[in-house]
Each structure stands twice: as C-alpha cells, then as structure tokens.
Amino acid sequence: MQSFVKESVAIARIASMSRQELESLQLLKLKRLLNRLWISNAFYRKKWEGKGVEIAKIKTLQHFTEQIPICTKANFLQDQNDNPPFGTRVGLRDEVIAMVNLTGGTSGQGQEYYGRSQKDVMTQAFMHFIPWFMAGLRRGDTAVNCVPAGGMSTGGWGPAEGIRLAGATGFHLGGSLSTEGKISVMQKLREVNFIYASTNYIHTLTQALIKEDLDPAKTFPKMKSVFIAAEGYPIEWAANLRSTWNCPVHEGYGSTQGAGFIASTCDQSVVRSDGKRGQMHLFEWAHIVEVINPETGLHVSPGEEGELILTNLDIESSPVVRFSTRDRVRWYPFNFCNCGLPWNTLEAGGIGRYDDMIKVRGNNIWPVTIDSIIFKNNEVAEYTGRVFVDSGSKTNVEICLAFKPGTDNQEKINNMIQILREQIKEHTNIWVEIKVLPASELPEYSYKARRWLDERQKGYKESV
C-alpha cells in the first residue's frame, strides 16, 4: 500500500477501502445524486423524463449505465443559450453560486459555464491537492506552478489552492513571465521541490534550461517531482525527462467538467521500473468513470481504448451525469497496477481527443500518435503539422521539424527524416513531407499545444 496513506488521514480511508466497499460508496452517493437532481435540476429531469427513466428502478451501477442517457457538450451549450448564463442544469439558486468556471473552448463548439457553490469550491481545491500529495508534495516544500493562473478556468485557480492545502509555498509563474523569466526566478529560490506544468511546457522549459547551459538536475538538486498534465507523450520522452531532472515524473488527468483532477499516478510514476507506462488511478469515490466503445456504447475490455464518460458524485452545482468528454483513453482495472490502490486506472501518457483526429484519404491521423513517433528522437526540439490542398488539388501532409542545438550532422538528419517518414507511414498509411526549420520559426507553447492545422477548406475555396 502506498506510503502516503500513513501521512494523510483524509486519503488514508479511501485508499484503504476494498473494491466492494468503494463500489458500495459509489452507489450510495449515486442514488442520493439522482434523487436530488430529479427534484431540483430541471435540465436532467426533463432529459430523463423524455427517455422514460424511472429513478426508483436504478438500484445498481449497471442499471445506471443502462438507463441514464449520455449528455453532450452540445446539450449543455443549448441549455445555457436558452437559459443564460448557466442553463437550467445549475440546479441551485443564483445567490448560492460562489464561483464561475468556464471551459477553454478548444473544441471550437463554444464554452460551457459552470456555477459552483461554496462546497464545490472546497471540493475542487481538494481534488487539486490529492494528486500532488500522491506525487510527494509536502508541507514546507517550494512548488513552482507554470500553468497560467487566474481567469475563469478550473485550472487557473485550482493549482494555487492545491498547493496551499498541501502546506507548500507556491510560486505561480505561468502566464506572467516568459520562459527565461521563470528560469531566472527559479534560480533565485533557495530550492525548488516540485514543478507543475503542461506536458508541452515542461518540454519547452527543459529545452530552454539546456540552451542556457543549465543542467536541470544540478541546477535544482532537491526536486521531488515534476508533475505534468493536459496532453499525451511518448514513453521514451518521459524516461528522458525523468533522467534529465533526476526525479520522478507524475501525471494527472482532469477537466472543468471533472471539477479538477479525476486521476493521478501512484508512486510508480509515469514510467514503471520495467520501463513500461505507469497508470493514473481514478478518484472513484468522487466520480463514476466509464470508458466505452463510441460505436457500440459498451464498456471496453482491459487494455482497450475508448471514450471517457464522466459523472460527478460530490458536486452540488452544474454537475455532470454521464457526460461525453470526447477524450480517448486506455482503461485498466484496479488490480492491473500492483500498488494496492482499489481504483481503476487510465494509462499514463495516452490521453487524446477524438475531436483532434484528422482523416486524410480515409486514414486517421491522431496527433498523439505523431507526437509519440517524433519525440522518441531526443534530438527533436519541436514540430508542427498541417494538412492542405496544393495547386493541383491534391491533399498533402507536411511536418515542419526543428532540432535541438548541436544537431548539425546533415547525413544524420537526413537519415532521421527518412526513418520518421517510414514510421509515420507505418502507423497512419500516409506519406508525409518533412521540412527542417530553425526552432525560432516554430511556436512556443505555454500550456496546451495545438500543433496541427487542417487547411483543406481554405484550399478548396481557392481552387473554385
């Protein structure tokens, strides 16, 4: 059993539950949630009545997944457009709302408003604290938060609250300082024990340190953990990051709909001792998480990929019930990991978006797949990709690649490019063109990376 159960009374009880006890707690909370929403939440009651749902007949977790319909982002947006600002799904009087969270809108469909009660605010703070405590953050540590702070997103204020609950000293540098500015502040600190950043930004920060001839492990020798979130990555990249910083790399999965983090790695971190991917354990006492095959609607088998469907069990205002996240994850049962926790898991480093998939000539291009191929090469600094229509009305895929300083052997570069093209062809059935550019000509990502552009609509219009 994890060592942290001895150090946190709040986590010890839920971490020590049997699987049967955990599922019994889920069912108890679920019944209370459904009864409350039937009485007080116009959005869910209308949706369920329209599908002939009878709350009294839901007596098991299986009944729940079989009888309660899935909700989508489009459902929420329509509700709040008809009943601004929160929609009827807020379920509480407006004067009870203590905070408003807003989704990022990266899907292009629009931004969802989430009104939160005072209890919800405290719950979200706790859901940010748990994964960092699991990763080793403790009272008196110095934590650097590189994610942009403030604003209306859950991720804009949650990190500060999580660090505060841990009793650590937080330096919130995201959004207000350049990468060089962050490095300057970090060097002035007595010590740095913990860094929180998006997957892409820790890559940017690490490369900037190396460019300034600063060895991360020697410059910050008391690092306990680097904690990443928001995007997938190749396992080779994570292993190299661990070696470069000389500390474990941990990962969490969360969202505004999840009211913070809903999963995090155990003490095996994102790279296990056998070199395989680690597992992010789901916080199932606070959520019901399903991973379904989008085509059949059935739960996937261990080791299979599917869409994550989310239900809040502890959120009062604007809860989500069987929400279609459009996140593509790989699911495993709790006993797949030998750490002893009773919580089912998602594979670390494998989170993707169904919305990000680009179809080219009948073939699927998943950005996370290309990331895994390209960033296996430690010499690569950054890349971007685009799909476009050329003057001859032919669809092409182009990747612009930048190498790290010192990678100047042209024969070696040519060989790497050819190997990359062959590997991408093997995984996508598409031949791509690869151009090499200086790193200064490619974007620098401060949070989530949007490396791919689909420019075909523009090409179609120009050819008319």
pLDDT of residue 93: 85
Q: Are 345 and 282 in contact (CB under 8 A)?
A: yes
Q: What is the DSSP letter of 299?
A: B
Average pLDDT over residues 74-89: 93
**Listed residue (376, 427, 426, 431) closest to 399, CA to CA:** 431
Mean pLDDT throughout 416-441?
A: 90
Q: What's the pLDDT score for residue 449?
A: 72
Average pLDDT over residues 73-86: 93
Residues 6+ apart with CB under 8 A from 321: 33, 37, 44, 68, 71, 311, 312
Q: Give me the pLDDT at residue 446, please.
A: 64
456 contacts 388 by C-beta, under 8 angstroms: yes
| Whether pLDDT at 462 is above 60 | no
| pTM given for the model | 0.82
Average the pLDDT over 170-195 and give the result. 92
- Number of helices (H), then strands (E), belonging to the chain: the values are 14, 20
Both tokens of 114, joined, read: 């989430």
**pLDDT surpasses 60 at 1:** no
Q: Give the model's pLDDT for residue 109.
A: 67
- CA 337, CA 446: separation in Å to the nearest integer? 32
355-373 average pLDDT score: 80
User: How many CB atoms lie under 10 A from the CB of residue 105?
Assistant: 10
Q: Tell which wins on pLDDT, 73 or 378.
A: 73
Determine how many CB atoms are found less than 10 A away from the CB of residue 454: 14
State residue 216's pLDDT score.
97
- Written as six digits, the tokens of 175 are 């959004």
In sequence order, what are the residues at sequence separation of 6 or more whose Cβ sits closer than 8 angstroms to the Cβ of residue 274?
none
Per-residue pLDDT for 4 more than 50? Answer: no
Topology of domain 358-463, CATH = GMP Synthetase; Chain A, domain 3 (3.30.300)
> Residue 433: enclosing H or E segment and its boundaries?
strand 433-436
List Cβ neighbours of 386 (8 Å cut-off, separation of 6 or more): 397, 398, 452, 453, 454, 455
Tell me the β-bridge partners of 252: 229, 264
Q: Is 49 a residue whose pLDDT tops 90?
A: yes
CA distance 358 to 362: 10
Which residue, chain included where needed, has tokens 């679920």? 30
Confidence at 105, pLDDT banded by 50, 70, 90: low
Residue 116, phi then psi, degrees to nearest 5? -120, 135
| Cα–Cα dist 216/317, whole Å | 43
pLDDT for 322 equals 98
pLDDT classification of 307: cutoffs 50, 70, 90: very high
- The pLDDT confidence band at residue 198, using thresholds 50, 70 and 90, is confident
Q: Which residue has the higher pLDDT, 128 or 356?
A: 128
Average pLDDT, the chain: 89
246: left (phi over 0), alpha (psi -120 to 50) or beta: left
- Average pLDDT on 187-200 reads 92
Query: Please, which pLDDT band fits residue 3 given cuts at 50, 70 and 90?
Result: very low
Pair of tokens at residue 388: 């476009």
Residue 68: pLDDT above 50? yes
List the structure tokens of 176. 């207000």
Tokens 């995090």 locate to 264
- Of the pLDDT bands very low, low, confident and very high (cuts 50, 70, 90), residue 127 is very high
What was the pLDDT predicted at 460?
43
Q: Would you give the distance in Å from CA 440 to the centre of its chain? A: 27
Q: CA-CA distance, 124 to 393, in Å (whole number)?
A: 50
